[in-house]
Chain A
Amino acid sequence: MMKTVIVDYGSGNLHSVAKAFERAAKDFKIKVDIVVSNKPEDLEKAERIVLPGVGAFKDCMNGLLAIEGLREALQEQVITKGKPILGICVGMQLMATRGLEHETTKGLGWIAGDVKPITPSDPNLKIPHMGWNTIKPHGQHALLDGILTGDDGLNAYFVHSYHMLPTLPEDLIATADYGGEITAMVGYDNIVGTQFHPEKSQALGLALIANFLRWKP
C-alpha cells in the first residue's frame, strides 16, 4: 500500500494530524498507510511526506536539526527525488530561506522567502490571526480542487502571528484577507504548504488532505 509519512520531530500536534489524514483517507476512499516517523528508511519508502509544526520557528527548526540525518533525508526525498510534501503552519514556514521570528534563523531553503510578522493595516485587528477565515486562490492548484474558495467559500482555521513572504510571486498559491493579504498557501512543483491547519479545518481541511493524498505533481 502507498505510504504517507508524517514527520515526527517533537512538534506537539502529530496526533491530530495523523487522525485527520486517516479520516480523510477513509471518507474519500483512498488506500494509504499513515505512518508517524523520523527515520530516513521510512521517508525512503514514503510516497508522500507531511511536515507539521506548531510553536516558534527557531524551536521547530532546532527540533528538526536535532534528529540526526533527518534534514538530509528530507532534502534527498523532497528535492532530489521530488516526492510530494505538505508543510503545515510552522512546518510550511520552515521551508523558507529564513525565519525572522525574534531572531533570524535559517530555514530549509526550499522556497525563496522570509517568514515575517503579519502587519494588518487596521491596528484594531488582533494578533495572533486566530480563527476561521476564507482563502483566495492565486491561480489553480490541485490541492484546492473541488473546494469552494473566496468570500462565500469554505473557511480554514488559522492561528499564527507570522507568515511566509515568498520572493517569487508565482510561489504564492492562496491568501487570506486580514487587514490586507496574508499568506495562506505557498509552493511550486512537488512542494506545497498551508499556513492554516487542514487537520482543524473540518470540511475544507479533509478535502484538501484528500487532494494531497491523490496529488501527482
Chain B
Amino acid sequence: MLKARLIPCLDVKDGRVVKGVNFVNLKDAGDPVECAKAYDAAGADELCFLDIAATHENRSTMFDVVKRTAEACFMPLTVGGGVKTIEDIRNLLLSGADKVSINSAAISDRQFVKAAAEKFGAQCIVVSIDAKESSSGKFEIFTHGGRNETGIDAVDFAREVASLGAGEIMLTSMDRDGTGQGFNIALTRAIADAVKIPVIASGGVGTLDHLVEGIRDGHASAVLAASIFHFGTFNIAEAKAHMAAAGIPMRLVTGAK
C-alpha cells in the first residue's frame, strides 16, 4: 500500500538554514547538508529545500548545497525558490535534486509549466501554490508572502497546471503559515479533490493532529512542516507514529523501514 509522506522543509538563505534546526548532536545546525543528513537518518520520507532569497548571483551556492546533500542522502529531494527558467531546473536536477518546485514563474507564465514538464518529465515538476480565502469567499492565489492578491482562483489554477503536466502540487495555506493553527482544510480539500495529481499540504502545522487532518480531512497525499521539527517540538518518528496510530498508512521509522 502507498504510504502518506511526511516532508520536513528547510528554508535556506545564502547556503545557510534560516532559524536553524534544533537537533541534538548536530555539529552545525545552520548547515543544510548536516540537517538533511539528520532528517534522512530520522526517516523523513522526502526533504524540501526552499531558497528564500534566490538571486541569479547566489544561485551557485544552492547548487553546491544540493550536490552535497545528494551525495549524502538517499531520499527524494525537492528544491524550490526563485526557479524562473528551464536552465534553473536543469541545473538543479543535474546537481542532484529529484524535483523542482515552481511558484511565481508558473503564475506569470503557465506555458512554463508545460515546457518544463515536456523537457524533464511530469515526475519532477512541482507547482507551488500559495493561497487563502479572499474577501469574496473564494480561494485565491496570493504572492509576496500573502500580501498581494492575484485574483486567480486557486482551484482553477491547480486544474490548469495539472493539465499542463505538473506532477505534484505543493499547497501552502497562506492564512495559516507560521501560525501553528493547522492547515486550511477546506482549501486543501478543494484543491486535492480537484486534481488527479498528488497534493502536499503545507503551512500552519503546530501539532501532530494537524498532520493527521491534512491527510484524512484535507485529502492531501503528503504533509510538509518546518517549525515543529526545527525547534525540536516533535521528531519525525513521533510524528509518523502519531499519524499511523490515527489509521494513516505510514512508512514507520522503527525497524528501519
Contacts and interface: CB of A to CB of B under 8 A. Distances in A.
A54 B123 CA distance: 8
B2 A131 contact: yes
B251 A132 contact: yes
B74 A15 contact: no
Given A133-B3, A155-B257, A128 B198 contact: yes
Given A126-B197, A160-B123, A201-B74, A131 B45 contact: yes
A206 B73 CA distance: 11
B224 interface: no
Interface stretch (A16-24, A34-42, A71-79, A163-171): A16-24
Given A12-B94, A178-B2, A200-B76, A19 B70 contact: yes
| Size class of the B contact interface (CB-based, 8 Å) | 35 or more
A55 B100 CA distance: 13
B74 A161 contact: no
Contacts of B1: 133-134, 151, 177
| Size class of the A contact interface (CB-based, 8 Å) | 35 or more
Contacts of A132: 2-3, 5, 45, 251
A3 interface: no
Contacts of A159: 76, 98, 123, 167
Contacts of B178: none
B170 interface: no
Interface in A76-123: 90
Contact of A154 (B70, B197, B257): B257
Interface string B87-123: 0001001111010000000000000000000101111
26 contacts: A12-B90, A12-B93, A15-B67, A15-B94, A16-B96, A19-B71, A55-B121, A56-B121, A90-B121, A126-B196, A128-B123, A129-B2, A131-B2, A131-B5, A131-B222, A132-B3, A132-B5, A133-B1, A153-B257, A155-B3, A159-B98, A159-B123, A159-B167, A160-B123, A176-B2, A206-B74
